[in-house]
Amino acid sequence: MDLHKKIYHKSVDGKDFSLELSKVAGQANAAVIGRSGDTAVLATVVMSEADKPGDFFPLTVDYEERFYAAGKIIGSRFIRREGRPSDEAILSARLIDRTIRPLFDPRLRREVQVVVTVLAYDEKNDPDEPALLAASTALAVSDIPWGGPVAGLKIEEGEDVKGFFAGTEKFVNMIELSGKETDESIAERIFTSTHENIKQLINFQKEIIRELGKPKADVTLAVGDPVLTGKISGFLKPELEAALKNKTLGALKDKLFEHLKGPGETEESLKVAEIIFEDEVDKFVHDLALKGGERADGRKFDEIRELYAEVGLFNRTHGSALFIRGETQVLAITTLAAPGAEQIVETMETTGKKRFMLHYNFPGFAVGETSRSRGPGRREIGHGNLAQKGISAMLPPMEEFPYTIRVVAETLSSNGSSSMASTCAASLSLMDAGVPMKKQVAGISIGLMTGANENEYKLLTDIQGPEDHYGDMDFKVSGTREGINAIQMDVKIGGITQKIFTEALQAAQKARLQILDFMDKTLAAPRSGLSPFAPKITIVQIPQDKIGELIGPGGKTINGILAETENKVTIDIEEDGHVYIAGLDDDAVKHAVERVRQITKEYQVGEIVEGPIVRILEFGAIVDLGGGRDGMIHVSELKNGYVKKVEDVVKLGDVVKAKIVKIENGKMGLSLKALSQ
């Protein structure tokens, strides 16, 4: 069978990419295999043949990791197939979704599904780059109506600055960036240089589209009836501004529907009316900002809503903080644990341990809705990851603070950028817990309203509900006074220019400094001590060759120590010989520390030791040195001169001091007479 393969190659900024188009996955609207090095992905795109009822465009993006791609068999003992997507896979799916979604006409009602399957991973080349490239090419050559192509590139500058920029030939429309107090000027330079490289990948795709692209399907878009539009517009005009300022849009919509109900109205026409309502509000919010120079709630464009913060809310938790910005409220709780509580991460790309976790929750009541309790969705995972990136750069290293750290951000109320409120709450909560954070971290979101051309726009600091829902950009920045720790940008338009990016960074910096000033008034530095309910950890360094001795056959020795402390401590042993002993009971911790030191102590010739006589032999006596270690005093070493019987000098149970005179094959020879010489 001839698959009619066509393979195209392109090198950009030292990276080699290839795109393969053939009859593989031939029943999809289009399929492309993308490669970067030996990393390979399959991107397929499918569009349904009929519209799906509803008032939104039904796009789904799935990113499927396959363990075989990295030559791994992962899973429980009984289940060896892939389960739910890892957090990393969900973040990759979001990255693709956020890049391609703005280029679809939102009036499209056909279901569109993009599925990226990772086929091979070479542990060098990130699959995200060929994944977005292949997905874009598949959409562009298919008959699915779409405004691409797009492309994206991973960014790495030194150890600290990492990220992903994506966009079209003209604009950047998706940003993920993490840093460590990175200067704004560095982010601006990366924006410019990366976009130039993205343009090369766009032109690369255009060549393929010209050769293989299909005509786009003729689809029906959800458009409003001009008569109905005029009727709705006339009804809303006198009441819309007041509804926005008084936060009664929902009530106004209900009032509109009551007004529209009549003999000629159908369920379908009411759905169209809802679309028209949203369009009218969108237009009004844009006109208010661009032409009226006003915001929906009357704030100045660079004004932050009222702030409130409180720490130490609960006695039993290790650290807590409530941060409020306007109607957005986040409660962050910090929990400290021993190193053994680290999360074991085993995915297609990663095998290791995670010491710091920031988990974000968003219940229905936060927006006044009823909803079923469930596990975290894509949005929760994405927001938690963003807040985690902002905080992690300021955490102390394991050597300075040997704790596993978990922060849970509970969104209690949401009206604009709860992820950035989570960053602020988490920073305060960690300091309240006594975690020696290097610096306080704050975050803010900058919105955007655009007009007919790229030079007609307004930036909005600290966006709230309508500005977020109807606005054109959500630009989140977190960091310290000295620089940026994380950036995330999503847009609902084609993208942004370098000028908008620079001005948004400036607006975010100004707001961030204001918020940090406020947070410092609440808690300017970490607590000097930990909560009495947090475990205390002592680190003991032992020789690596003593690890087996400490564990004992079948764990007998270490389990014995735990039993002696009535399991009031935990003991974690690292491969480098670091032993972490943690517990709430100080005496139990001290006992375990002493036992570990006894068991792993390296004795030296000439050292003075002490212990009881535990056994009398014909030719000497055995001294218990503790920790399962002992030494023998030969009869000739008991005292100067002739000794007829061992019992003439020492008896069973006597506590003696002796000098180590030799160590051979782990056995120690002791001497009493050497102490008198």
pLDDT in tens, 198-210: 999 999 999 999 9
Tokens standing for residue 370? 């009823």
pLDDT of residue 273: 81
Dist CA 222 CA 666 (whole Å): 83
pLDDT of residue 461: 97
CB 85 within 8 A of CB 96: no
- Answer yes or no: is 64 within a domain: yes
Query: Looking at the structure, do residues 582 and 612 belong to the same domain, yes or no?
Result: no
| Phi-psi map region of 49: left, alpha, beta (phi>0 left; psi -120 to 50 alpha) | alpha
Dist CA 508 CA 506 (whole Å): 5
Query: Looking at the structure, do residues 336 and 420 belong to the same domain, yes or no?
Result: yes
- Answer yes or no: is 636 within a domain: yes
Q: Is 364 helix (H, G, I), strand (E, B) or coil?
A: helix
Most confident by average pLDDT, 3-7, 357-361, 539-543, 641-645 = 357-361
- Answer yes or no: is 465 within a domain: yes
* Strand-strand pairing, 39-51 and 30-36: antiparallel
Query: Looking at the structure, do residues 311 and 459 belong to the same domain, yes or no?
Result: yes
Average pLDDT over residues 342-354: 83
Query: Looking at the structure, do residues 426 and 489 belong to the same domain, yes or no?
Result: yes
The 10s digit of each residue's pLDDT in 232-253 is 888 888 888 888 888 888 888 8
- Backbone CA torsion sign across 458, 462, 467, 469: positive
Query: Looking at the structure, do residues 395 and 256 belong to the same domain, yes or no?
Result: no
- Answer yes or no: is 297 within a domain: no
Q: Which amino acid is at 173?
A: N
Query: Looking at the structure, do residues 591 and 612 belong to the same domain, yes or no?
Result: no
Contacts of 517 (CB under 8 A, 6+ apart): none
**Which range marks the domain in which residue 41 is found?**
6-212
Query: Looking at the structure, do residues 192 and 79 belong to the same domain, yes or no?
Result: yes
Query: Looking at the structure, do residues 513 and 555 belong to the same domain, yes or no?
Result: no
Closest CA relative to residue 15, chosen from 176, 200, 192: 200
Q: How many residues does the chain have?
A: 677
Q: Please say which residue of 491, 522, 553 terminates a domain.
A: 522
pLDDT of residue 247: 82
pLDDT of residue 618: 87
Query: Looking at the structure, do residues 147 and 244 belong to the same domain, yes or no?
Result: no
Dist CA 491 CA 493 (whole Å): 5
- DSSP structural state of residue 676: G
Dist CA 232 CA 278 (whole Å): 11
Query: Looking at the structure, do residues 509 and 620 belong to the same domain, yes or no?
Result: no
Tokens standing for residue 636? 């000739």
- DSSP structural state of residue 145: -
Query: Looking at the structure, do residues 128 and 178 belong to the same domain, yes or no?
Result: yes
CA distances from 257 to 248, 273, 418, 508, 561 (A): 15, 8, 31, 39, 72
CA 449 from centroid of its chain's CA atoms: 29
The 10s digit of each residue's pLDDT in 493-540 is 999 999 999 999 999 999 999 999 999 999 999 999 999 999 999 999
Using pLDDT thresholds of 50, 70 and 90, give the confidence band for residue 601: confident
The 10s digit of each residue's pLDDT in 143-187 is 999 999 999 999 999 889 999 999 999 999 999 999 999 999 999
Average pLDDT over residues 74-93: 84
Q: Please say which residue of 600, 617, 651 terminates a domain.
A: 600
Dist CA 445 CA 400 (whole Å): 33
- Backbone CA torsion sign across 541, 544, 549, 554: positive
pLDDT of residue 265: 60
In this predicted structure, the answer to whether residue 1 has a pLDDT above a threshold of 70 is no
Query: Looking at the structure, do residues 432 and 448 belong to the same domain, yes or no?
Result: yes
Number of domains in the chain: 5
The 10s digit of each residue's pLDDT in 464-473 is 988 998 999 9
Contacts of 282 (CB under 8 A, 6+ apart): 470
Q: At 155, which CATH number?
A: 3.30.230.70
Using pLDDT thresholds of 50, 70 and 90, give the confidence band for residue 481: very high
- Answer yes or no: is 408 within a domain: yes
| Phi-psi map region of 329: left, alpha, beta (phi>0 left; psi -120 to 50 alpha) | beta
pLDDT of residue 267: 62
Tokens standing for residue 113? 């599904």
- DSSP structural state of residue 117: E
Q: Please say which residue of 246, 263, 290 terminates a domain.
A: 290
- Answer yes or no: is 527 within a domain: no
Dist CA 525 CA 437 (whole Å): 8
- Answer yes or no: is 296 within a domain: no
- Answer yes or no: is 298 within a domain: no
Q: What is the mean pLDDT of the chain?
A: 92
For residues 66-102, b (16+ Cβ closer than 10 Å) or e, as one string? bbebbeeebeeeeeeebeebbbbbbbbbbbbbbbbbb
Tokens standing for residue 411? 């969104």
